[in-house]
Amino acid sequence: MVNYINNNFNDVKSGFEFSAAKPNHIALLKEIKTGGHLTKLATLFSQLISVYKTANKTFESDSKQLQQTWKLLKPLLANYNHYLHTKGEIDFDDMILKALDYVTAGKFASPWRYIMVDEFQDISPTRAALVKALRDSKPRSSLFVVGDDWQAIYRFSGADMRLTTEFAAHFGFTTQTILDVTFRFNNKISEVASCFIMKNPAQLAKQINSLSQVIKPAISVLKTANVISSKNTKIAELNNGALAHLLDTINKNKPAVVYLLARYRYQLPTKADINALEHTFSSLQIECDTFHGSKGKEADYVVILGMHGGQFGFPSTKPSPAMLEALLPAKDLYAHSEERRLFYVALTRAKHKVFIISDDNNRSCFVDELINEYQIELKELKNIASKVVAQV
């Protein structure tokens, strides 16, 4: 869908009602396209089209801002649907909607006695409706789902956590099987991460038992400062020597996999940076990913970067576009609730230990919470920063 929008830029322009009589607008559009901003715009409208198809809502009666956004989206949506029709194609959202129509209209009867759904916390209302319709179309059929509301991190794509936390209200009589043993992370990571996520009363209360038991804290916050070096990198944790110091510490142990995680991809080292680090710390296999991308994965050690405050820090305070918010499932009211779940996912990717590098002059509120309320390890790196930078 993003490629379609990029390749059909005239459809986007028609929404603005621009014409050759307004050369300043034409120049602006050219700048948007040549400056790489069009891909960002295409990504946004691709997301809007996807959630709109399943939201079943119009915007003519909403605020002026939403009406203006809808004025831009509407012709693009019409052209996109026409393009699919002429090609004889459907996209994923159409596939779900058409399948739901077939089942509810009696055009398809489920042959399945048992229906199983994994990662149920990521399901959207439309997909949940399809699952329910399939179950209801087959007499005496059973639905079994596996989901963890603590890891519900895809609201931006239309997922509704309440379908998990209020499962019985949507699907009827329910029995519950508790999967309360984790083979991934140890008890000290579990203690901190579980208490952290359950501060939000909208999350289901659980007791997680870890197979691996340790005595010492397994989450470590390293206080440092942003040191400017001559190295050609924007990654503060590389500039100030904190990352090299941590990897040197881990490297003294047996060979290990280290996962570098951040909220945004631009906060992660480049492939060239990783190659250089792996050359220096030869017993380590170093991988990078965003918090979202790390879901379902694991490593021996996790190092979390970008833990500073601000709009592009963590938790992110960057507001979502108003029209997107109007289409998405309602938020729960707890502050930074989805970002809190995202941090839980990041913390629980580590088997042995999590290291959090924090700029002491601009700390994330999540780091402050860890320091003030939980049993963690706290270290100071400011005194060794210049020495480590000189060595790297």
Domain range for residue 10? 2-87
Residues 109-134, mean pLDDT to the nearest whole number: 95
Q: Which of 299, 303, 307 is nearest to 349 (CA)?
A: 299
Q: So what's the pLDDT on residue 28?
A: 60
Q: What is the CATH number of the domain that holds 99?
A: 3.40.50.300
Co-location of 367 and 219 in the same domain: yes
- CA quadruple 224, 226, 227, 230: dihedral positive or negative? positive
Co-location of 8 and 49 in the same domain: yes
Lowest average pLDDT, out of 2-11, 65-74, 111-120, goes to 2-11
Amino acid of residue 223: K
Q: So what's the pLDDT on residue 228?
A: 46
Residues 173-202, mean pLDDT to the nearest whole number: 96
Which residues sit opposite 219 in a β-bridge?
Answer: 354
Co-location of 49 and 156 in the same domain: no
Tens-digit pLDDT profile for residues 238-277: 888 899 999 999 998 789 999 999 999 999 999 999 999 9
Q: Which of 295, 308, 386 is nearest to 349 (CA)?
A: 295
Q: Is the pLDDT of residue 166 over 80?
A: yes
Tens-digit pLDDT profile for residues 203-247: 999 999 999 999 999 999 999 876 544 444 678 898 888 999 999
Q: So what's the pLDDT on residue 353?
A: 97
Lowest average pLDDT, out of 26-35, 58-67, 109-118, goes to 26-35
Lowest average pLDDT, out of 307-311, 320-324, 330-334, 355-359, goes to 320-324
Looking at the structure of the chain, the number of domains it has is 3
Co-location of 131 and 226 in the same domain: no
Co-location of 192 and 336 in the same domain: yes
- Quick check: is 176 in a domain? no
Residues 63-88, mean pLDDT to the nearest whole number: 85
Q: Is the pLDDT of residue 77 over 60?
A: yes
- Quick check: is 74 in a domain? yes
Comparison of pLDDT for 73 and 107, the residue scoring more = 107
* Residue percentage of the chain with pLDDT more than 90: 64
- Confidence bin at 2 (pLDDT 50/70/90): low
Co-location of 271 and 298 in the same domain: yes
Co-location of 37 and 60 in the same domain: yes
Specify the 3-state DSSP secondary structure of 303. Answer: strand
Co-location of 159 and 11 in the same domain: no
Co-location of 133 and 239 in the same domain: no
Give the domain-ending residue among 114, 137, 171. 171
- Confidence bin at 149 (pLDDT 50/70/90): very high
Q: So what's the pLDDT on residue 383?
A: 55
Q: So what's the pLDDT on residue 98?
A: 95
Amino acid of residue 280: T
Q: What is the mean pLDDT of the chain?
A: 86
Give the domain-ending residue among 27, 57, 87. 87
Query: Which residue is associated with the tokens 């009363």?
Result: 201
Q: So what's the pLDDT on residue 247?
A: 95
- Quick check: is 292 in a domain? yes
For residues 346 and 343, what is the distance between their CA atoms, to the nearest angstrom?
Answer: 5
Q: So what's the pLDDT on residue 102?
A: 97
Q: So what's the pLDDT on residue 382?
A: 62
Q: So what's the pLDDT on residue 318?
A: 86
Backbone angles phi, psi at 303, to 5 degrees: -115, 120
With beta carbons less than 8 A apart as the criterion, state whether 124 and 170 touch.
no
Co-location of 97 and 76 in the same domain: no
Tens-digit pLDDT profile for residues 43-55: 888 888 888 888 7
Co-location of 257 and 327 in the same domain: yes
ω into 321 cis (within 30 of 0): no
Q: So what's the pLDDT on residue 164?
A: 97
- Confidence bin at 40 (pLDDT 50/70/90): confident
- Quick check: is 147 in a domain? yes
Q: Is the pLDDT of residue 296 over 90?
A: yes
Co-location of 162 and 232 in the same domain: no
Q: So what's the pLDDT on residue 235?
A: 87
Comparison of pLDDT for 82 and 8, the residue scoring more = 82
Give the domain-ending residue among 87, 107, 135. 87
Q: How far is CA 29 from CA 32, 35, 92, 327, 358, in A?
A: 5, 10, 30, 27, 40
With beta carbons less than 8 A apart as the criterion, state whether 379 and 223 touch.
yes
- CA quadruple 40, 42, 47, 51: dihedral positive or negative? positive
Tens-digit pLDDT profile for residues 361-392: 889 999 999 999 999 999 987 655 444 433 33
With beta carbons less than 8 A apart as the criterion, state whether 182 and 208 touch.
yes
Structure tokens at 1: 């869908």
